[in-house]
Amino acid sequence: MSYDVTEVQKSLGGFQYPGSPEQLADHAEEKGADQQLVDTIRGLDKDQFDGPNAVMSKLGEANVLGGS
């Protein structure tokens, strides 16, 4: 599965960092993100993210980003 970068950024917009994958996933879910994206964020292997670039980097490492 590949997620559009812009869609991911919209799903995470307004989140108050730092936060855990669980907190980020809950935020994305509240913003109407696709359930698969929510599950992917929830499953990211990191205790805490200090900003959106860290999230995008981790999603890139997981090879799930596509589009722009």
Over pLDDT 90: what percentage of the chain?
Answer: 93
For 1, 14, 27, 42, the CA distances from 62, given in Å and listed in that order, are 10, 23, 20, 13
**Residue 4 pLDDT > 60:** yes
pLDDT in tens, 6-23: 999 999 999 999 999 999
Number of domain units in the chain: 1
- What is the C-alpha to C-alpha distance for residues 50 and 58, in angstroms, rounded to an integer? 12
- pTM, entire model: 0.90
Cα gap 65→5, rounded to integer Å: 6
Report the candidate in 46, 38, 45, 47 with the shortest Cα–Cα distance to residue 7: 38
Q: Which helix (H) or strand (E) holds 4?
A: strand 3-4
Q: What pLDDT sits at residue 66?
A: 85
pLDDT score, position 67: 64
The residue segments making up the domain with residue 34 are 3-66
